[in-house]
Chain A
Amino acid sequence: MTPPAGAGVAEPKSAARTTPATSVEVDSVTIRFAGDSGDGMQLAGTQFTNTSALFGNDIATFPDFPAEIRAPAGTLAGVSGFQVHFSSREVHTPGDVLDALVVMNPAALKTNLKDLKDGGVLIVNSDAFEDNDLKKAKYTVNPLEDGSLKGYKVVRVPVTKLTRESVKESGLTSPRDQDRCKNFFALGLVYWMFERPLDTTLKWIKDKFGKKPEHLPVLEANTRALKAGYNYGDTVEVMPVHYKVAKAPIEPGTYRKITGNEALALGLVAAAHAAGKTLVYSGYPITPASSVLEQLADMKRHGVKTLQAEDEIAACGVAIGASFGGAIGVTGTSGPGICLKSEAIGLAIMTELPLVILDIQRGGPSTGLPTKTEQADLLQAMFGRNGESPAAILAPQSPADCFDIAYEAVRIATRFMCPVFVLSDGYLANGSEPWKLPDVSKLAKIEITHPTEPNSDGTQFHENGDGTKGKYLPYKRDEYLSRPWAIPGTPGLEHRLGGIEKQDTTGNINYEPANHEHMIHTRWKKIENIAHVIPELAVHGPADAELLLIGWGGTYGSIRAACERAQKQGKKVAWAHLRHLNPMPKNTEAVLKRYKQVLVPELNSGQLCWLLRARYLVPAEGLNKVQGRPFLVSEIEAAIAEKLK
């Protein structure tokens, strides 16, 4: 989007428009709504996203919350933002730099201005720049007046005053309630600016506030504020242009907008439906994983049973106990919760029961940055338990991919009788994108058989009296070394599981040195066998590429966008993205060894890089960022340029 050059600070004009605004066609826009956490910016951003998605743009979003639920109003710590990238092309990231920024107060201006591009549109609620507001945001002079915003196209709008004016006759009387409609006024103005229809949001307001008579004034007020904002843009000459972003060429199908956590929940339930099983999900409230539990708690008619456990350990125990009982046992948390669950996960590894563990990663260590994103739990998932205790690890690469990965996790856990980690992150969890509803008939089958008959053939294990026919041998393995899953209630297959080392095949307690070593190796080999049922690693790039970028998880969009730009410039770079981290696809080593240079972008200090180097002896190098924020595409692009210099 290119606003008129050198627009400078537009003085507020309240003159009615004499000529219609010019319409400018642009192919991609990134906008951020920023304000106090009480200003309703998440709602405004979500509404803008829904409208744009329904309009037909491709979208990617990035909400950015403060760690405190309600930091003191107007302070820097209390700023909440919601970024939307919408386009007439395919988009993979929420955008690096902002084309437009809406700020509801000075604190939001201060914390967000650095991301606005030079010459970008800055819409400011000029009513919120009183001395006291400025002081709370630690401004000594009013930035609207000191010339510091000269490089941007500033649109000063007295949002508070105009909102109050517009809702005067809505039935909402207290100024406090009236002010809560400010976000709708601002949203209306932005809708005008980007030629968006109001109907999606009007319908939302009606659905939300139209049900109870006591809410009707709120319905009325929000509706009026939204329309007033739109009309303000239309009639008052504060904005000389508005922008048009055409529909994106999108694959035909039925779509909805989905966040990563929504997709995880749906993936789990879909897998349970496919397997014909009850889903038992247990979690303990933790940011940013809680919304998975919240959604599943409301899906009881799908055979989902949830339990909000007393702690993280309990949540894991409940999931494993449910698996023992033949259900799909799942627990979800973030990094600190994984620490607490480690011992129980070890038990699931030892008893070879299926278990899915969602880890919505956040900044660590310890409490760290609860609301910020990071990819720093890979090695914890890989090694963070006592003894040698391998588990499968998967990582979704986009919000919509969370659906496929959750589904895949259930498939692997039940096929291989093992715990499977799903390493999502805060960025994927809260970010959203359009998701094409899956064709149910094309989802992979999840076939689970529980034995109903004894499986001993009468020739083995005479020493324990277990060779007799008619015995159930809980650790008798199949071609992938997976064991049978007999469930309580089945006559004749009564057996005991436990965390003590056991003899292979019989499962009897066994402390013999050679047996222990055999079992340690068997548990590893079983996880490695998963490589037989997962797709190979796909590489995207020219055959003569010299540099390979390999990533995992939520960095997919940025890596892909950066590589595609570099490839367009003729750079000899290829990229690949791992969705399976343990085991990795069979061809991973071959892929890595094909390139002169391997660069591993990660939001940590080099964990995948460490694994690749250790396992495949390749001179991989890291591109690392640990700031609680995703990569900018430009950061990766710069690294590619540097490597291919």
Chain B
Amino acid sequence: MAATALPTLTAKDLTTDQEVRWCPGCGDYSILAQMKKALSTVGVPKEKMAFVSGIGCSSRFPYYMNTYGFHTIHGRAPTFATGLRLAQPDLQIWLVTGDGDGLSIGGNHLMHVLRRNVDIKILLFNNEIYGLTKGQYSPTSRMGTKTKTSPQGSMEQPARPLTVALAAEATFVARTIDVDVQHLTGILQKAAAHKGTAFVEIYQNCKIFNDGVFEYATDKSVKADNLLYLEHGKPMIFGKDRTKGIRLNGLRPEVVQVGKDCGVDDLLIHDETTEDPTLATLLSRMVGPDFPEVVGVYRSVRKPCYEELLQKAADAEIAKKGKGTMADLFKAEDIWTVS
């Protein structure tokens, strides 16, 4: 979306009269605030925006945005958003989902909307728990997470949202954190500018049922050592003193001490435009404590969207046979006249 001289929105323009009902201290508040901030700058009038969601705490989001909104059913938001896109080629469509909504009940739809590259910006608020149903483990809960339905600790491998998205051929993949407000705003703006399906995982703290699960990534005293901020064209360096880096050893990324194990030139250089998602996939699999967790834009490539290809096919057909009218609708190969 080109930033033209369209009316700039304020956060207030984007606020509805509905009382926000998330728990005090919930990470969702920060995301809502940054969303309004980000959208005030993208140059799209609010009637040209729509928020679509499924079910869960995060899915209340549309009620709080003074744009068009559709709070749908559990897990299926990508399908409604896809239909909306087919009807409305110019709308900016945001889809808000969670780890349960997007990866459990709606896992199938998530994979297919990404694969089709429908122009929708998907935000997955990952709090690694079911909040709205009061604290059951989710598909992203770490092994051993104790909840009411996993009293001995979760026995399931957690799903990695970004790995899933990359495997599904997502054309824009990013990760950010609810309380890292500047980074969050920046990622939202980049997602808004992407043509195609954008997939953003947001680490989101559930104050009530999973408080502190991302503390390693939000606590100022430790986060620099636990996070790697991706920058396009820059070497992958992290750490409080920025002395650590990521090097590729065969097919394995490894953490190295820059200046000791190797020079900066030996580090991986981030290129978000790489066609091949392999490296991005390796990054998406890096988890603590052995690795820093990677935030930023993993991948941003332009590929045709489903709706663009559909339009192209329609245009080609019209060029060949003319625009369809009611009158020529009924013509068939074999028609006959009785007089």
User: Which residues of the other chain, B, contact A310 by a CB distance below 8 angstroms?
Assistant: 108-109, 111-112
In B110-128, the 8 Å CB interface with A consists of 111-112
One digit per residue, 1 when the CB lies within 8 angstroms of any chain B CB and 0 when it does not, for chain A 416-437 equals: 0000000000000000000001
- B326 adjacent to A317 (CB under 8 Å): no
User: Which residues of the other chain, A, contact B45 by a CB distance below 8 angstroms?
Assistant: 491
Decide if A307 is an interface residue (CB 8 Å cutoff). yes
- B83 adjacent to A320 (CB under 8 Å): yes
* A27-35, A70-78, A210-218, A323-331: which lies at the interface: A323-331
Alpha-carbon distance between A495 and B63 when the two chains are bound, in angstroms: 9
User: With A200-B334, A509-B63 as given contacts, are A326 and B72 in contact (CB-CB < 8 Å)?
Assistant: no
- B66 adjacent to A255 (CB under 8 Å): no
- B47 adjacent to A492 (CB under 8 Å): yes
- B336 adjacent to A322 (CB under 8 Å): no
- B79 adjacent to A318 (CB under 8 Å): yes
Decide if B335 is an interface residue (CB 8 Å cutoff). yes
Decide if B299 is an interface residue (CB 8 Å cutoff). no
- A302 adjacent to B329 (CB under 8 Å): yes
One digit per residue, 1 when the CB lies within 8 angstroms of any chain A CB and 0 when it does not, for chain B 307-336 equals: 100100110011001111111011011111
User: Which residues of the other chain, A, contact B46 by a CB distance below 8 angstroms?
Assistant: 494
Decide if B268 is an interface residue (CB 8 Å cutoff). no
- B326 adjacent to A254 (CB under 8 Å): no
Q: Which residue of B lies closest to A54 (CB)?
A: B336
Decide if B214 is an interface residue (CB 8 Å cutoff). no
- B80 adjacent to A318 (CB under 8 Å): yes
User: Which residues of the other chain, B, contact A495 by a CB distance below 8 angstroms?
Assistant: 68-69
What's the least CB distance linking A356 to chain B, in Å?
Answer: 13
- A318 adjacent to B83 (CB under 8 Å): yes
* B87-95, B138-146, B186-194, B276-284: which lies at the interface: B87-95
Alpha-carbon distance between A440 and B327 when the two chains are bound, in angstroms: 7
Q: Which of B18, B47, B112 contacts A314 (CB 8 A)?
A: B112
What's the least CB distance linking A387 to chain B, in Å?
Answer: 13
Alpha-carbon distance between A199 and B45 when the two chains are bound, in angstroms: 62
* A-side interface residues, number (CB < 8 Å): 75
Q: Which of A300, A351, A465, A490 contacts B310 (CB 8 A)?
A: A300
In B43-61, the 8 Å CB interface with A consists of 45-48, 50, 52
Decide if A299 is an interface residue (CB 8 Å cutoff). yes
User: Which residues of the other chain, A, contact B71 by a CB distance below 8 angstroms?
Assistant: 496-500
User: Which residues of the other chain, B, contact A456 by a CB distance below 8 angstroms?
Assistant: none
What's the least CB distance linking B324 to chain A, in Å?
Answer: 3
| 8 extra A-B contacts, CB within 8 A, seeds A320-B72, A327-B87 | A273-B326, A282-B83, A303-B324, A316-B79, A317-B73, A317-B78, A495-B68, A496-B69
Residues of A within 8 A of B (CB): 50, 53-54, 56, 200, 207, 250-257, 266, 269-270, 273-274, 278, 280, 282, 299-303, 305, 307, 309-311, 313-327, 329, 343-344, 346-347, 351, 437-438, 440, 464-466, 487-500, 508-509
Residues of B within 8 A of A (CB): 16-18, 45-48, 50, 52, 62-63, 66-73, 76, 78-88, 90-91, 108-109, 111-112, 306-307, 310, 313-314, 317-318, 321-327, 329-330, 332-339
Listed by A's residue number, 23 A-B pairs whose Cβ atoms lie within 8 Å are A53-B336, A54-B336, A56-B338, A250-B338, A253-B338, A269-B324, A270-B326, A280-B87, A301-B321, A310-B111, A313-B79, A314-B78, A317-B73, A318-B82, A323-B87, A324-B70, A325-B83, A325-B86, A344-B76, A491-B45, A494-B66, A496-B70, A498-B71
